[in-house]
Copies of this chain bind each other. A is one copy, B any other.
Amino acid sequence: MTDQPLPYDPAALQACASALISNVRELAQAGWTPATSSNFSLRLDQAHAAITVSGRDKGRLVEDDIMVVDLDGRAVGRPLKPSAETLLHTQLYRRFPGVGCVLHTHSRTQTVASRLYAPQGNLRLEGYELLKAFEGNTTHETAIDVPVFANTQDMGVLSAQVDALLDRQPLWGYLIDGHGLYAWGRDMAQARRHLEAFEFLLGCELELRRLGAGA
């Protein structure tokens, strides 16, 4: 015990794992994590995050499916290979001390919206009461531009683009073309509120477009 320093609090990890398992199960039941896709994390402390191991069925997560990474995305404790996309989580924890949770899902609405708006690079959400669900908004008389990044298997490239955008504007989420949505927040509750608001508003936009009234 004495010569093996604990880089993080195991009780905190257990709490994170338990919260991830129950919340992700609900997202999986909503159909937002098809075919073992998607990944999810919670901040453990200033230097670590708990994140889902790549390739696991998100509807059946167990404690063993949650691993620890440092904020450079390297596995800590267990010799597991973290998902390449881990960097997209840890860059947010590194940059924003107030971010405590990052959720990445693949709903059909998110994937279709990403394909549809990739050519113009973003999707404007405007005139919805639910814009108030995003932390910092107190009125529906506002607009949010959801960025759509090109997909790439090179996470260094993608995270640099995200960083550049975060230098220019506040953001609670973004789309990746043909891929899905990243959303985050202070804690699990706020990150889920943001995620649900994005999903709902993207769904409204697609529906209005199908009805010949969308942007």
In the bound complex, what is the Cα–Cα distance between A37 and B131 (angstroms)?
11
Q: How far is the CB of A187 from chain B (nearest CB, A)?
A: 13
Judged by a CB distance under 8 angstroms, whether A82 is at the interface is no
Copies of this subunit: 4
Q: A35-B196, A140-B179, A196-B35 are in contact. Are A129 and B106 (CB under 8 A)?
A: yes
Contacting pair A129 B189 (CB below 8 A): no
Chain B residues positioned under 8 Å from A180 (CB to CB): 129
A7-15, A64-72, A90-98, A204-212: which lies at the interface: A204-212
Chain B nearest CB from A139 CB (Å) reads: 5
Near B by CB (< 8 A), chain A positions 122-154 give 127-130, 133, 138-141, 151, 153
Contact residues of A: prevailing secondary structure: helix
A129-B115 in contact given A57-B189, A200-B34, A203-B108 (Cβ < 8 Å): no
User: A196–B203 Cα gap in the complex (Å)?
Assistant: 20
Of B35, B189, B206, the residue contacting A197 (CB under 8 A) is B35
Complex: A138 Cα to B153 Cα, angstroms: 9
User: Judging by beta carbons under 8 Å apart, are A133 and B197 in contact?
Assistant: no
State in angstroms the CA–CA spacing of A185 and B213 once bound together: 33
- A204 touching B129, Cβ below 8 Å: no
Q: List residues of chain B with CB within 8 A of the CB of A112.
A: 204, 207-208, 211
A residues contacting B by CB (< 8 A) are: 34-37, 57, 106, 108, 111-112, 115-116, 127-130, 133, 138-141, 151, 153, 176-180, 189, 193-194, 196-197, 199-200, 203-204, 206-211, 213
A sample of 23 cross-chain residue pairs with beta-carbon separation below 8 angstroms, ordered by A number, consists of A34-B197, A34-B200, A35-B193, A35-B197, A35-B200, A37-B129, A37-B130, A37-B133, A108-B203, A111-B128, A111-B129, A111-B130, A112-B204, A112-B211, A115-B204, A115-B208, A116-B208, A127-B151, A127-B177, A129-B178, A129-B179, A140-B178, A210-B211
